[in-house]
Structure 1
Amino acid sequence: MRERQLTEQPLCMFCLQVGDVEPATVCDHVIAHKGDEFLFWDAGNLQSLCKTCHDRTKQRLERGQDIVTFGADGWPV
């Protein structure tokens, strides 16, 4: 599942949203599955992220914290 996701979507989705191009290394569940087998195996619930975005940005989102991202020009997006 991980290999297929990263092959089909090889770039980090969060980075692309701010205009950066970073290879993805993590297959992440968009909606945390919390033991729900349907969400766990649902290929439509997956996104590719780089390790930095997964470990920082995604974790903050899951905790309900505000996320400020900056574009390539240095301005908040």
Structure 2
Amino acid sequence: MAESPLKLCSRVGCRNLTRGRYCADHIKEKHQYDRYRGTASQRGYDSQWRKVRLGFLRKHPLCVHCLVAGKVVAATVVDHIKPHKGDKVLFWDRANWQALCASCHSIKTVKEDGGFGN
């Protein structure tokens, strides 16, 4: 069976080549982060959040970043404008929410903290 081609490590700024997602230097970091991060439910994204999220997206069906750019794209993510970092008051503050499409949310996440999971 043929081996997969080498590609750059997914860690932002890393230039190491790997066949997996992360190089040997960064695979350990990823596992350590996941170990202490907690599940989505433990971080507040539970059944109550899912219900409220759906209601928010019904009232705000379009991505606000795309609208600013003159595009009409359906929103699929309720984003916390200011990251809540576990603060339940900020987590539930609807003035801190915005409707985004998955693409805009990913771009925002990368700009804020270097990528998903970092």
TM-score in same-fold range (> 0.5)? yes
Alignment of 1:52 onto 2:103: yes
Q: Give the alignment's TM-score, normalised by structure 1.
A: 0.75
For 2:100, the aligned partner's letter is: L
For 1:39, the aligned partner's letter is: L
- Runs of at least 4 residues off by over 6 Å: none
How far 1:8 sits from its partner (Å)? 1.0
Give the 5 Å matches for 1:1-77. 1-56=52-107, 58-63=108-113
The number of aligned residues is: 63
Deviations along 1:46-73, whole A, 9 cap, x unmatched?
A: 00000011112x1133148xxxxxxxxx
Q: Give the alignment's TM-score, normalised by structure 2.
A: 0.50
Paired with 1:45 and 1:3, the residues of 2 have a C-alpha distance of 16
2:37 aligned partner: none
How far 1:35 sits from its partner (Å)? 0.5
For 2:74, the aligned partner's letter is: P
Structure 2, gaps ≥5 residues long: 1-51
Percent sequence identity over aligned pairs: 49
Structure 1, gaps ≥5 residues long: 65-77
CA RMSD of aligned residues (A): 1.4
Larger Rg over CA atoms: 2
